[in-house]
């Protein structure tokens, strides 16, 4: 390894996949690399990004890889209302999302409280709350500029 960012990321992904108890494959590495470059990608975006190097890749194969990653805690799936599931590598912190109601762009928003859960319901109905998922909706700067 020469210390380049790409090789370093590939090494880190190898380590993470193995630590999660999964077999390292070219396809799994490629999916993690795509998610590193394209946070909040949906399955269609991942498949399109894989086409140049693996044109035979099916959406079902990508779903299988992503589901294994979600189950292993390597990837987080978010589901903004009315949008396909999106996937991200940012799993080890308490953050939320801002979704553009016009174009569907998604960005991370750090939690103002810092620790999960950052919100508590008035009545927990006996549940022990460990996390809260918050989605903020608005119009992104690009869509605001397009509307002006």
pTM beyond cutoff 0.75? yes
- Cα–Cα distances (Å) from 57 to 9, 37, 53, 69, in that order, read 22, 19, 9, 17
Segment 17-37 mean pLDDT:
95
Q: How many residues does the chain have?
A: 148
Q: Which of 51, 78, 105 is the last residue of a domain?
A: 78
- Residues 53-110 pLDDT 10s: 989 999 999 999 999 999 999 999 999 998 999 999 998 887 889 999 999 999 999 8
Q: What is the pLDDT of residue 115?
A: 67
Res. 1 pLDDT band, cuts 50 70 90: very low
Quote the number of domains for the chain.
2
CATH code assigned at 47: 1.10.10.10
pLDDT at 7 over 70: no
Question: Measuring CA to CA, which residue among 65, 67, 70, 69 is closest to residue 49?
Answer: 65
The count of other CB atoms within 10 Å of the CB of residue 32 is 22
Pair 120, 72 in one domain: no
């Amino acid at each position: 390894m020469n210390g380049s960012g790409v090789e370093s990321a590939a090494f880190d992904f190898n380590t993470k996949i193995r630590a999660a108890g999964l077999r390292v494959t070219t396809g799994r590495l490629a999916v993690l690399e795509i998610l590193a470059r394209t946070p909040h990608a949906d399955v269609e975006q991942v498949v399109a990004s894989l086409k140049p190097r693996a044109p035979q890749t099916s959406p079902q194969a990508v779903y299988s890889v992503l589901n294994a990653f979600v189950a292993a805690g390597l990837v987080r799936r978010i589901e903004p209302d009315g949008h396909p599931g999106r996937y991200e590598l940012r799993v080890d912190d308490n953050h939320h999302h801002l979704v553009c109601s016009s174009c569907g762009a998604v960005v991370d928003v750090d939690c103002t409280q810092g620790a999960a859960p950052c919100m508590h319901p008035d009545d927990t109905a006996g549940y022990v709350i460990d996390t809260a998922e918050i989605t903020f909706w608005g119009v992104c700067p690009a869509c605001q500029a397009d509307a002006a």
